[in-house]
Amino acid sequence: MTREKLRIGLFGYGCVGQGLHDVLNSSKGFKADIVRICVKDRSKKRRIPMSNFTFDKNDILNDPSINLVVELIDDAEEAFNIVSTALKSGKNVVTANKLMVATHFRELVEMQWKYKVSLLYEASAGASIPIIRNLEEYYDNELLHSLRGILNGTTNYILTKMYNEDREYADILKEAQEKGFAESKPALDVDGWDAKYKLCIITGHAYGLFLNPDEVFHYGISNVSRFDIRYAKEKGYKIKLVPYVGKTDDTTITSFVLPRFISADKYLYNVDNEYNGVITQAAFADKQFFSGKGAGGHATGSAVLSDISANSYGYKYEYKKFQQGTITKYTRDFKLEVYLRYKDEKDVELFGFEEVSEYFSSKFDKYVIGVVNLKNLYELREQLQSKDVFIVNTGRKVIETGT
């Protein structure tokens, strides 16, 4: 296939935008020109001459010589405006914006078909880990039973530090913010939203369902205590934030984001700090494990470059699993075993435990381990954050242990 000469219009010159710039400059054999960079803040000092920049998005969107838009801004709604305008005017787009892709997934897929253009977003799911194209191409005919992983570097960094240093969550979060590993408004990461958006994108390519993220239960790590980490450590586990999607029968899937106990014999146990990991469990290939940096300008920039390169060969996602139409249903009627640390006995009743295998109560700490229905967790989702509880998927019982 011939390679189209790329003239790129870049939106955003922050962590990933500058990372991409560096990665492109180091890839000598790769012919692509960044024609123009659109940014927002007129007062910011830039490390390259101002003649490269514009503050008007139309300088890129209306330039017929630009054949690829690379969108790397941190404002999802404006990103959607930019991306949809570009696609509608026949320009291919590469983006890293998981919030935008996950919340407008179906619409963006339809736009690609309608306007015969390509939107690639590998960096939006696993940052440097090439998972989307793998799901599209490698797992084309494979019966994928499940996929789980660590998809958020900030939470993994905090949990790793808590495990290694036996310090409180708030203390480590503050330090992570000071070092620039966590955002000043960290809810997107620590409450599990980011992991959920990535899971929804992965689900589209793994199973062909474009889920509304609101339909998917997520629970993050902002209530985790030293007691929880110590409990896990004593039992030989680490706690990781693990999004999961898997089949419940031949035509149905379920998915959720929950902290999970991981024992030392599992792949994810050694995925620490800002690293991400993804495990696929398939009928023939069995278990496969992908690992790599889950954040950072250069690591993410490398995935963006890979999409730019794929684009130059005319690559488009075919959404093969959607076309096959094998999976047609999504369910939250799914039982799983959880550890629930709590203060108030009344809170336990809310969870509707169906079986209890362990119960512990002392003056300061209490926990129960038993089977709950995901439906109940979903019903409780708005109350959970404000309660003095912490939930961890034990990974035993209903879901096969595989990580």
Ligand X SMILES: NC(=O)c1ccc[n+]([C@@H]2O[C@H](COP(=O)([O-])OP(=O)(O)OC[C@H]3O[C@@H](n4cnc5c(N)ncnc54)[C@H](OP(=O)(O)O)[C@@H]3O)[C@@H](O)[C@H]2O)c1
Nearest 5°: phi and psi at 147? -145, 135
What is d(CA 171, CA 47) in angstroms, rounded to the nearest whole number? 34
Tell me, letter by letter, the H, E, C secondary structure of 148-161. EEECCHHHHHHHHH
Catalytic residues: 198
Tell me the residue number closest to ligand X, measured at CB. Answer: 14
Q: Which is nearer to ligand X, 84 or 393 (CB)?
A: 84
Q: Which is nearer to ligand X, 153 or 259 (CB)?
A: 153
CB 27 → ligand X: shortest distance, Å?
Answer: 19
Q: Which is nearer to ligand X, 78 or 168 (CB)?
A: 78
Enumerate the β-bridge partners of residue 8.
34, 68
Q: Which is nearer to ligand X, 38 or 86 (CB)?
A: 38
CB 319 → ligand X: shortest distance, Å?
Answer: 21
Produce one character per residue of 179-204: b if its CB has 16 or more CB atoms within 10 Å, e if not. Answer: eebbeeebebbbbbbbbbbbbbbbbb
Q: Which is nearer to ligand X, 75 or 365 (CB)?
A: 75
Decide: residue 239, CB within 10 A, 0-12 exposed, 13-18 middle, 19+ buried. Answer: buried
CB 209 → ligand X: shortest distance, Å?
Answer: 23
List, edge to edge, every strand of the sheet that includes 53-54: 53-54, 32-38, 6-11, 68-71, 92-95, 119-120
For 368, the 3-state DSSP assignment is: strand
CB 82 → ligand X: shortest distance, Å?
Answer: 7
What is d(CA 251, CA 122) in angstroms, rounded to the nearest whole number? 26
What is d(CA 314, CA 308) in angstroms, rounded to the nearest whole number? 10
What is the binding site for ligand X (CB under 6 A)? 11-17, 38-41, 44, 72-75, 78, 96-98, 123, 127, 295-296, 300
Find out whether 65 and 89 touch, Cβ atoms under 8 Å: no
Q: Which is nearer to ligand X, 41 or 250 (CB)?
A: 41
| N-to-C CA span, the chain | 39
What is d(CA 113, CA 94) in angstroms, rounded to the nearest whole number? 16
